Amino acid sequence: MKFMLFLLPTIPATLAERKRLRPIANRTDRWQLMLEEVIELVRLAEDLGFEAVAFPEHHLHSEGFEVGGPPELLLYVALHTKRVKVGPIGYVLPGWDPLRLAITTAWLDQLTKGRSFVGFARGYQPRWLDQMAQKIHVSATLSDRSVRDEANRRAFEEVYQILKLAWADEPFRFQGEFYQYPYPYETGTPWPPHAWTREYGAPGEVDSHGRIQKLAVVPKPYQKPHPPLFQAFSVSESTIRWCAREKVAPMILLSRPEQLRHLARVHVEEAGRAGRWLALGEGIGVLRQVYLADSRRAAERLAEQGLVGVGYKRFWGHFGFWEAFRFPEDELDYPTSEGSLPAHEWTVDRMVRARYLYAGTVSDVVQRIDELVATANPEWFAWLFDQGLLPRAELKRQLELFGTQVLPRYQS
């Protein structure tokens, strides 16, 4: 199993400080504190044997919670480490210009000599995605199969298709619903120094009338044909099947053993149909949270102080994230046809019972990971970490305990 540290990142502060200093994300001193903390934690994770560090993409968060994940941060982390792989899980494709993203990811891969990966997401936060995707008239989505949701999915898949074309060696033409290359597609793009490009550029870029007819995107990735690909954060069977066909590793949020084993089997089945013969768990990952203490009660208190109490209860819950921890018996009191789980059901105990949150002693956590391996044996284990919410000394203690007493049991 390969271990990945998943950081948001978050400006370090207590809730009282966030309120007193609002908006705390305006403060340069706090940004510098966050960057210092991120680098210290990532270096420690690297020393302990973590394979990768990942960040999501989010913007405009004046509260200072999950404030980033841009290419500049990935490069900054890579320059301060030696071995660990860095990447987004994931870039929200509908909010990106496809060519700019292809170039950005290839630059990072070249600059790190292949120490990068690329993750994708569809985007669920309207505060920033609706602004950044406005030119193609696409909005954030909660995967509800609405007209809005379907437009988001089409934009996601089109950007993904263009990325694959741009990373490939051959110049390409493309005409889709949202983008066309060259532009205008019918006539091509006027290019005055066409003789130069015809002699020294990629064959087929320029026609005899001096117009660009195919695009040659450079640089190409250091890794061939491109960096490893991930999908964030998967809950549906259709997404798992798409990932299996496309050789994209789904990072699975659903955590109940019967759900996870079903999706792992679906992944193997669909990969086989696409001509890929995989062992159970190969090419998939899971997202989990871990809290280590002298007792389960003390570990669960840490969860309440950190991402469960702040991230899930105050923020992500309002986007329906607790539905990932729904049990069949919940249908009696809270039918999905009538809405999501109510806030009083957003509990640490629910996450523990769903096998998403591993809280307790080292022995307790090992027992849960053993169960995970027996259930689906995922290739990747991503630890959603509490950087910025728990004290730095506690964060380092958690990492050191896990890295010395848990992680070595599962490394190949």
Q: Quote the CA–CA distance of 146 and 164 in Å, as a whole number.
A: 27
Provide the domain limits for residue 388: 2-291+380-393
Predicted local distance difference test score (pLDDT) of residue 411: 86
**Band of pLDDT at residue 174, cut at 50, 70 and 90:** very high
Handedness of CA 315, 321, 327, 333 (dihedral sign): positive
**Sequence-ordered list of residues with C-beta below 8 angstroms from that of 332, at least 6 positions apart, any chain:** none
The dihedrals phi and psi of 219, each to the nearest 5 degrees, come to -75, 165
Predicted local distance difference test score (pLDDT) of residue 165: 98
pLDDT above 90 for 259: yes
Residue 401 lies in a domain: no
Residue 369 lies in a domain: no
Find tokens 């990952």 and name the residue.
285
Residue 173 lies in a domain: yes
**For 19-25, what is the mean pLDDT?**
98
CATH of the domain at 125: 3.20.20.30
pLDDT above 80 for 412: no
Residue 311 lies in a domain: no
Average pLDDT, the chain: 97
State the Cα angle at 2 between 122 and 259, rounded to 5°: 55
| Predicted confidence (pLDDT) per residue in 90-133, tens digit | 999 999 999 999 999 999 999 999 999 999 999 999 999 999 99
| Predicted confidence (pLDDT) per residue in 186-201, tens digit | 999 999 999 999 999 9
| Predicted confidence (pLDDT) per residue in 364-377, tens digit | 999 999 999 999 99
**Sequence-ordered list of residues with C-beta below 8 angstroms from that of 14, at least 6 positions apart, any chain:** none
Residue 210 lies in a domain: yes
Residue 387 lies in a domain: yes
Q: Is the pTM of this model over 0.85?
A: yes
Torsion of CA 90, 93, 95, 99, to 10 degrees: 120
pLDDT above 90 for 158: yes
Above pLDDT 70, what percent of the chain?
100
Residue 11 lies in a domain: yes
Residue 319 lies in a domain: no
**Band of pLDDT at residue 142, cut at 50, 70 and 90:** confident
What is the total count of domains within the chain? 1
